[in-house]
Structure 1
């Protein structure tokens, strides 16, 4: 591993998540000349090079130069990419996989059992340095390499280490897919605001600022979100009427079913792709 405080990073895969993490790192001050990327789409690679000033190349080229290789390939394509990449990893870089549903056992079979591997479930707000990532390390990962993985991911948000790999599916359901849940809620609020008479611009601005304010208040408060909700409600008031409607429609159960479906799908992916 390099002694520099900025190890050379190679992103194998140039999709949305790679762009989010890579872009967040550059915005945080990570040197662009220490970041490499590869991928199937020449257009996406060109955009990464143009937007962030990084270097691009083939999978083997970037991996051979890297201290840390981030596997940002879609789960369905990771086995083929990993097996092809294996000869380029003889220098034993730290490997970080952000592919949903691909467990460490599979990664070790495809890449080599001796490698230090960190399995990560990040999310797209990493692009604006408000990401949330769950991390699980295999037995070969030293404390130093765990710190490296944490340094990379914490540069773009919060990090939670997991002792049980099975909990990655729960992280997927909570934070990995979670931004989409909030975007759907915002979308619904904007649409409802329009139907109540607001123009779309006003409904959008009020909704987004309210979401930001609620999250910021919850983050900075010394009480839990249930208490914050109760503090907004007055007996017989407007907020209580809305909350009673949500509870009557079993909003909590709707979320639980959706998140269980998300976690189950992650498990299905693992079983289907662990070959």
Structure 2
């Protein structure tokens, strides 16, 4: 069977497919949890494997009742029998994992990569096969159904498989289809690493509130609601953040004083540089994996 004609039964829906996560970190857990909590599949349809950390696998099995093979034979069986294999290992482990996977992967399967920077070409080279590959960049908000995932496809991914992959990630948030694969590094910088920027801001807001005399609970509650409300204002009104900011910034008022101080410290520029650096680092990680594959 050719790679362009997978036998993957997509018409039956996600619930009938066997999903194997090769890697059992936070992103794999976020997607598995999202699929399970929305009733799109059952725990017995999901296998999660890693290299050595049996405590982590036990934790996932106890929490979600998913299959967590422990022996090499059982891990191999999970990979061979999977309809969809999610590449969810750390970038530094990707080369070795893919070289292992190439002995089991089959043309009928769909490979979905969650690894920052890892190109479709490198995946195909390491697997020594031209199979359907979906490259994605989700974020950890997928855990609560509010994820943002950038997606692009190899030439071997047909319309049905595109629909299937989008359904998976739309079940845990929103998706953005990226036609130019290189732009997934930009997705990494903006939304892949994005939640951490917001948490960083929230840490600072909570800490400042406490230093001004608020108790821990009040500082935390006010910060959470402020961030939640601001995000929903942008979403519900459709207005640009800059316009909403101008509306709440009265001349010579408290907000203007705060914004002027932020501008004096070039905070906006620093945020932009941070996002560029995240995107740049994604490209560096991909180049390291590709370079290692040629060694």
Normalised TM-score (structure 1): 0.96
What is the aligned counterpart of 1:4 among 12, 23, 28?
12
Given that 1:121 and 1:171 are in contact with CA atoms closer than 8 Å, whether structure 2 keeps it comes out as yes
Displacement, 1:59?
Answer: 3.5
2:68 to 56, 62, 74: 56
Q: Is residue 107–residue 131 contact of structure 2 (8 Å, CA) maintained in 1?
A: no
Q: Which runs of 5+ in 2 are unaligned?
A: 1-7
2:105 to 67, 76, 89: 89
Correspondence 1:1-275 to 2 at 5 A: 1-2=8-9, 3-6=11-14, 7-30=17-40, 31-40=42-51, 41-57=53-69, 58-274=74-290, 275=293
1:114 and 1:262 map into 2 onto residues whose CA distance is: 29
Count of residue pairs brought into register by the alignment:
275
Q: Is the 8 A contact 1:129 1:155 kept in 2?
A: yes
Give yes or no for contact 1:100–1:121 (8 Å, CA) kept in 2: yes
Alpha-carbon contact 1:135-1:159 (below 8 Å) kept: yes
d(CA) in 1 for partners of 2:75, 2:103: 11
The whole-number CA distance in structure 1 between the counterparts of 2:122 and 2:108 is: 18
CA deviations 1:94-133 (Å, max 9, x no partner) are: 1001111111111001123320001111111111111111
The higher relative CO (CA closer than 8 Å, separation ≥ 6) is in 2
- Return the alpha-carbon distance in structure 1 between the equivalents of residues 55 and 289 of structure 2: 28
* Structure 1 unaligned blocks of 5 or more: none
Asked if 2 retains the 8 angstrom alpha-carbon contact of 1:186 and 1:208, the reply is yes
CA contact (8 A) 1:121 1:135 kept: yes
Q: After TM superposition, which residue ranges in structure 1, 4 or more long, deviate above 4 angstroms?
A: none
Please give the secondary structure, in 2, of the residue aligned with 1:24: helix
170-179 vs 265-274, which deviates more? 265-274
Q: Cα offset for 1:156?
A: 0.5
Which secondary structure does the structure 2 equivalent of 1:140 belong to? coil
Describe the superposition over 1:59-99 as per-residue Cα deviations: whole angstroms up to 9, x where unpaired.
32222221111110111111111121122222521100111
* RMSD (CA atoms): 1.3
What secondary structure does 2:174 align onto? Answer: strand
For the 8 Å contact 1:64–1:91, the answer to whether it is kept is no
Other structure's SS at 1:139 match: coil
